[in-house]
Structure 1
Amino acid sequence: MALGLALREKTFWKMLYESAARADEVLCLNVEDLYPQDKRGKITAKGGRRSGFTGSPAPPGSPRLIARRTRGPLFLTDRKAPAGTPTLDVCLETGRARLSYRRAEEIFEENTRRLANPLASPEDIEDLDGWTLHRLRHSALTHDAEGGTSTPMLLARSRHASVRSLERYARQ
């Protein structure tokens, strides 16, 4: 089913799935955190640790997403930042704010309602829930576990501190 998504969403969701990163980690990325030639980047993980990730920080179209920007938030809102937005969350070149977790989650949920409820009638779809960004991360790690990825690799990809945290991904 074609969803007709914006480049920002396509890039964001692909990065989430391919890196198995937490949504807030990816939303905190700045343009200068990416190394597109190596398909790598640097994120600030839970607890403030700086960590490398691999995946697809530069899928097709990301040069258009970055649009010659050399610094500032990678994922931006569609509008100018309101007064009082922290300086670190504003792109100095465009004046737009960093996309928030709340808005990113809302967009993902809205766009996955039909996928999550394939038998729903068009008039009922607005009342139903779509998927969550956490479920996208969960799917990536579950698929890795089902594909035979080793426990040390799963720990590295998930950035979990405990093997017990990985149990949910191995049991599906």
Structure 2
Amino acid sequence: MAELPPVEYAVAVERYLAASGLAEGSRRIYRIALNTWAWALADRPAPTGPERRRARPPVLPLALLDHPDAARRLRTAADRRRADTDPRTLNRELSTLRAAVAWWRAQRWLDDDPTTDLHPDPRPEPTVTPLTPDDLRALFTLRAPLREQSLWHLLHESGAAIDTVLALDTDDLDLSRHRTLHRPGRTPVHWRSGTARLLPLLVAGRTAGPLFLTDRRAPAGTPAPDRCPHTGRARLSYRRAAELLTAHTTPLTPGAHGWTLRQLRPGAPPSLDSDGRARHPGTPDRRDPE
């Protein structure tokens, strides 16, 4: 018997995510993006900042996407998002919505496509200056907690997207090969000697749950995939990870406000090898396995 079309937008979101083949960490990010557009369909501004993740989206019918006014509401919401987010985030949210609508139309749950006029944000992304070898040396010798040093090394050595790294779970790791295990629909993450020395210490005694954890126990209602079954702590958020880096590096940048997570990703300047020497990104670490 064919599955009946969902009535509620939220149910349609969950069915799309279930069929997507995405890992749970990626589904969580997609869910947040799609919930953001629910506020637009209700003709209400979406919450911003920390409240965005905790806010319960309005309950509404999926059929609102077929309403003649749906395209206008989504355009208005996109304009609002441009005012309080960066182009990369907005473009990812637009892409997520377009992909979901295309899948819903393929299931014959929708007739129209209100995302046709939603175009990528044309604003250029802010220029990010990668850290120099001296900057990296200063960062990696800071007396910072193991969690922070592990995250900073992994972001720099892998060059992976920040959201991808924060979505990793302990059982994603292949520590002996310095990489993540193959997961359908997920981009593999590789690292080098600096990260390889730290990760075994970070995950000691843990076999499941988020790789990077908060200091406190997860609040009630935190989804199980974002809560450590061993410690009860929650997955570290992008916002908190950014705050921690800024706090630790402000003393290293007199007159500035510390460094950002995006500066950790390799750029044109050379990065450091396992002995602390300058090395251009993409050059294999001779101590790491092929």
Would you say same fold, with TM above 0.5? yes
Q: Distance in 2 between matches of 1:144 and 1:55?
A: 16
Residues 1-172 of structure 1 aligned to structure 2 (within 5 Å): 1=138, 2-42=141-181, 49-56=185-192, 58-117=195-254, 120=255, 128-137=256-265, 140-143=266-269, 147=280, 149=282
Q: Distance in 2 between matches of 1:97 and 1:49?
A: 24
User: Could you say what secondary structure the match of 2:200 adopts?
Assistant: helix
User: Could you say what secondary structure the match of 2:222 adopts?
Assistant: coil
Q: Normalization by structure 1: what TM-score?
A: 0.69
Q: Distance in 1 between matches of 2:248 and 2:182?
A: 26
Aligned residues: 136
Q: Distance in 2 between matches of 1:143 and 1:42?
A: 29
User: Could you say what secondary structure the match of 1:97 adopts?
Assistant: strand
User: Could you say what secondary structure the match of 1:93 adopts?
Assistant: coil
Query: Structure 1, residues 70-110: CA drift from partner, whole Å, max 9, x if none?
Result: 11100011111010111110011110101110000000111
The one of the two structures with greater contact order (alpha-carbon pairs below 8 A, sep at least 6) is 1
How far has the Cα of 1:130 moved from its partner? 0.9
Using a 3 Å threshold, how does the CA distance of structure 1 residues 135 and 42 change in structure 2: closer, same or farther? farther
Q: Distance in 2 between matches of 1:73 and 1:85?
A: 12
Q: Distance in 1 between matches of 2:214 and 2:155?
A: 18
For the pair shown, the structure with the greater C-alpha radius of gyration is: 2
Structure 2 regions of 5+ residues with no counterpart?
A: 1-137, 272-278, 284-290
Residue range with higher mean Cα deviation, 49-58 or 23-32: 49-58
Using a 3 Å threshold, how does the CA distance of structure 1 residues 148 and 93 change in structure 2: closer, same or farther? closer
Query: Structure 1, residues 28-75: CA drift from partner, whole Å, max 9, x if none?
Result: 00011110100011588xxx9411121138532322211221111000
Using a 3 Å threshold, how does the CA distance of structure 1 residues 99 and 66 change in structure 2: closer, same or farther? same
Query: Percent of aligned pairs with the same residue?
Result: 43
8 Å CA contact 2:209, 2:228 repeated in 1? yes
Aligned Cα RMSD in Å?
Answer: 2.7
Q: Distance in 1 between matches of 2:238 and 2:215?
A: 14
Q: Distance in 2 between matches of 1:148 and 1:39?
A: 17
User: Could you say what secondary structure the match of 1:82 adopts?
Assistant: coil
Structure 1 regions of 5+ residues with no counterpart?
A: 121-127, 151-172
Q: Distance in 2 between matches of 1:10 and 1:109?
A: 13
Amino acid at match of 2:169: N
How far has the Cα of 1:135 moved from its partner? 1.4
Using a 3 Å threshold, how does the CA distance of structure 1 residues 42 and 28 change in structure 2: closer, same or farther? farther
